[in-house]
Structure 1
């Protein structure tokens, strides 16, 4: 039996760890850390630092290269499914190699495992290969960190909030029946495709990390500055993780 804990660790600030998360780390027999290439080594380094701070000496720490998603296919959904299958195989191989008799396995999940993260779907695949009992420990999400950094509320009184991706915002336009939208996983400045009149944007990158960058203002005025800042930050770090909130006035 494998006890699998998916532990939300927040968005880059080690103090985002909850007491429940620390308990899970201290109980772990194995902590698996994905390696996403040299350009994202600081993500692995942060996870390693959390392990050094809280894991017991008896706990195994295993880093493994994360498979890359095929971006050359026409079917985005199939590429994601194949990618998740490959990751589940990596999880299985690492667990069998390091815990052949079972035990407690922890994955440190950026943000929260339940929001725009695939670890739960990958765990579903793993259950066809291993006997698993799993738990999810929530973490601070990028949306929470964004609102806190800008000192704003996510919602307005009595109105819904729509959470979407840059791909959908670009392809579908402003979400129907809402004046507030949170956009995640936007690799192409989809906010620039919107009519900017009477729209305010709050944007943040590297939230919770020392490199954190924040910009906000009317979309027609601040949008081009955000796009320029994103490009410079990506060039400087080799990657970027950002999120933004849009609200029609």
Structure 2
């Protein structure tokens, strides 16, 4: 999640690789800056690749829009890998097994290039959220449902009562005022923000904290746990 959360295993690999490949999303890209800090800490060059445009206007066929974006990313990364060769690393923000495209992109790259790859685990956003708030992500003997903000309403309507919510473009918590929230933004960075409490009592605090995170870093990447009243 931040330079301090790089595991010894990953640190050894970074020192040994030739360069890190990272998407460049334009001016004031805070995530690219964070990756530069990590790469610099281990003496490895970072190669920034202009990230293709993505339809973010809530398209009717969301999966198709994402597939198109992924295909464009694969093509951009393929060009760099063909030109440079050597051993490259991708630094995934959070956890490549949860709502992230990197593994799928590398799988596709492996069909186009003579390459092999490994996935090395680190500290995930849900882990860090739980640690910061000193909580367990689920009640005794109960599950935690991992979902996205896009699906939150449908999941609540389907009866889910303990939800870990990712990919939050905005906080829409109307009707959940009696639920409890444990929220974090930009975890592991200097712009980290944390809020916890009954939703109806912390709504204004959440909005202010989210605004501070964005003002400080130029971006917001947040995750939260929502739990229905017992």
TM-score, scaled relative to structure 1: 0.84
Equivalent residue runs for 1:147-186 within 5 Å: 147-170=130-153, 172-174=154-156, 176=158, 178-186=160-168
Contact kept in structure 2, 1:201 and 1:247, CA below 8 Å: yes
Determine the structure 2 residue equivalent to 1:65. 50
The alignment covers a number of residue pairs equal to 228
What is aligned with 1:92? 78
Where does structure 2 lack aligned partners over 5 or more consecutive residues? none
More strand by share: 1
Structure with higher RCO (Cα < 8 A, 6+ apart): 1
**Within 5 A, what are the aligned runs for 1:112-151?**
112-151=95-134
Q: Give, in angstroms, the shift of residue 203 of structure 1.
A: 0.7
Q: Note if 1:187 corresponds to 2:169.
A: yes
- State the Cα deviation string for residues 41-94 of structure 1 (Å, max 9, x = none): x32222222222213xxx553211111212244321111000000000111000
Query: Alignment RMSD, CA only?
Result: 1.9
Unaligned runs of 5+ in 1: 1-10
- What is the deviation of 1:211? 1.1
Residue 204 of structure 1: how far off its partner (Å):
0.8
Could you tell me the TM-score, scaled by structure 2's length?
A: 0.91
**Aligned equivalent of 1:211, options 163, 168, 191:** 191
Q: Shift of residue 222 of structure 1?
A: 1.1
Asked whether the 8 Å contact 1:174–1:194 carries over to 2, the reply is no
SS across alignment from 1:144: helix
